A and B are shown apart, each in its own frame.
Chain A
């Protein structure tokens, strides 16, 4: 799913991102306010949905090779986080939707989650 489509579905504001970055293909989504869990379970190519607005959310996205960050509940990255996102070229969106609803909208439109299917198969 293109990032532009995610922006449209979530009626999100583009806090930072170029037109070209909005055309990025997003393969899956990971949602958490806990960066430890994102580091443990995240996958490359994901969009990170989070309500954690400090610089660590952007740092984690960079470490995990996330392709974009969507802040939920109307949050936005702090100044340091935004600066880092710009340096690292990670587009940043902000939606007023709650985490549950934002994830539900993306999932019902075909954006899969991370790992879950593999984990279930193994079990």
Chain B
């Protein structure tokens, strides 16, 4: 695919900064709205993005989120510098959380984040390295018939 068909934009996410948390996700949502993307796709993307952004804010030192929109899909790539995830299988279970009290007071850290990202994406890849960080790739296809491709 030629680059002219691709929109790409990156956002910086600062760990521990709860005041700014969610700003990148709101920006992503606004961009998709401007592009005239289907509302249900915007909604799924916004939810997945917000959960992923909150994870970076809660657990990592910093991170970067890159939005790519092609004629086929919305792709979000997140990478953070943080502690990494010890057991991804466990972290994917609803209700499992290592959140602190402060995180829960912010309304998050209930162990719903990663499962909710998976639920709202058509394809979700996660790679984590202890002591280094976590990489997420979230794919949401613009054609609703295409799944898990």
Contact in complex: A56, B107 (CB < 8 Å)? yes
Shortest distance in angstroms between B4's beta carbon and chain A's nearest beta carbon?
A: 30
A20: interface (CB < 8 Å): no
B43 contacts across to A, CB distance below 8 A: 44, 64-65
Per-position 1/0 for A71-83, Cβ under 8 A of B: 0000000001000
Pair A56/B21 contact, Cβ less than 8 Å: yes
Q: How far is the CA of A30 from the CA of B3 in the complex (A)?
A: 42
**B107 near A35: Cβ-Cβ < 8 Å:** yes
Which A residues are CB-close (under 8 A) to B108? 34-36, 56
Number of interface residues of B (CB under 8 A): 24
Determine the distance from Cα of A36 to Cα of B95 in the docked complex, in whole angstroms.
10
* Chain B hits for A52, CB < 8 A: 107
* Chain B CB within 10 Å, residue with most, of A39, A55, A60: A39
**Would you call B112 and A36 a contact (CB within 8 A)?**
yes
B25 CB contacts on chain A under 8 angstroms: 59, 63
Cross-chain contact B18 with A56 (CB below 8 angstroms): yes
CB distance from B119 to the nearest CB of A (A): 8
Q: List 20 A-B contacts (CB under 8 A).
A: A34-B108, A35-B106, A35-B108, A37-B110, A39-B47, A39-B112, A40-B112, A44-B39, A44-B43, A54-B18, A54-B107, A57-B107, A59-B21, A59-B26, A60-B22, A62-B26, A63-B25, A63-B46, A63-B50, A64-B43
Contacts A33-B107, A39-B50; A63 near B26 (Cβ below 8 A): yes
Contact of A39 among B19, B39, B109, B116 (CB under 8 A): B116
- B116 touching A34, Cβ below 8 Å: no
Bound-complex Cα distance A65 to B45 (A): 13
Q: Are B109 and A36 in contact (CB under 8 A)?
A: yes
Instruction: Let me know if B19 and A55 touch, CB within 8 A.
Output: yes
C-alpha gap A94/B71 in the complex (Å): 43
What's the nearest-Cβ distance from chain B to residue A57, in Å?
Answer: 7
B51 part of interface (Cβ distance < 8 Å): yes
Which residue of B18, B29, B46, B113 contacts A36 across the interface (Cβ within 8 Å)?
Answer: B113
Interface string of B94-111 (1 = CB under 8 A from A): 000000000000111111
Asked if residues B22 and A55 are in contact (CB atoms below 8 Å), the reply is yes
